[in-house]
Structure 1
């Protein structure tokens, strides 16, 4: 895969709404772009925890341990479901607490199903792995700024406490839907 092809494939996948992007959007709505940007190292660490081992040896490990992929999918589904419940239960318009912490973003990103695609399909390359990982890191940062920026714009577009409450509820419903899909995939595997 050429560098432009890889860039396009990674960007399309990273920009797709999912659990990590939902949390970064909420961080942008709650803290602004600068607050969301402070979480970029956490997101990178979460992705690299999964992507790096998979890019180095994932195909071999998953071929030898068929249940591992199913277990990862079920774990991701359960975690995303727990996040959905947590976001739903957060205080209403009077609650000013931030709903997106570093721990939640790290675990969500490490369990993100996209990481499997990055680590097993898009990034592995015997002669270009380091360059691919550097490109991936830059694109993760760029996309995090985009999602954080969207959240910041949404925050300014409406009364802040109510807008954040609505965003939390929407993110909760979206995450619940993603968790159902993940759990169904894990059970069906």
Structure 2
């Protein structure tokens, strides 16, 4: 039998690793001040995600009781968002070579993460429904999420530092991002099929 937390961790990792507003801030900070001084921003990111996912998850969980069709609609919307994310990453695949290396504040990171659409995707689609029904399940699910989040956030900070240290690496980022966009495109189709095939 498939472990729902392992499945969630895989999907969460796939979306978390993709470029977006939060990861761009981590990259920018890594470019400017290095990994060590970027670490407080990772804590702000974690707090932003925990807050936003909790709000979305508990709200949608309560709403779904009287509207059993809601989770399927949210999954279809999530699939459309992932498709949009894939298209945007493909179009802007060269942008990471030209990220502005301005200092990033804790408040900037928290607010950006709080408003990140990925949090809605996690709380509405990837987190098991049980996560928002008991405190124990919520704690286990959120702990799993944070275990996935931390190395990815650190990785984006390191990428910023490496792009500063090794300029030759920057030329390979567009290919990497286009590959990531294709993975997201596949994932979007799979998610949409899982809803429409029922």
Q: TM-score, normalised on structure 2? A: 0.59
1:151 matched to 2:159? The reply is no
Deviation at 1:147, TM superposition (A): 1.3
Find 2:131's aligned residue among 108, 112, 123. Answer: 123
2:146 is equivalent to residue 141 of structure 1: yes
RMSD: 4.3
> 2:95 maps to what in 1?
90
Matched residues in 1 for 2:83 and 2:183: separation? 7
Please say if 1:112 is aligned against 2:121.
yes
Q: Which residue of 2 aligns with 1:21?
A: 17
Normalising by structure 1, report the TM-score: 0.61
List gaps (5 residues or longer) in structure 1: none
Q: CA deviation at 1:173?
A: 2.4
Q: Could you tell me how far 1:142 is from its partner in structure 2?
A: 3.1
Tell whether 2:34 aligns with 1:36: no
Q: Does 1:69 align with 2:75?
A: yes
- Count of matched residue pairs: 178
Tell me how far apart the structure 2 counterparts of residues 49 and 164 of structure 1 sit (CA, whole Å): 39
Contact 2:79/2:188 (8 A) holds in 1: yes
1:75, CA displacement in angstroms? 3.4
CA distance in 1, matches of 2:90, 2:44: 25
> Unpaired runs of 5+ in structure 2?
30-34
Tell me if 1:173 matches 2:178: yes
Q: 1:165, CA displacement in angstroms?
A: 4.4
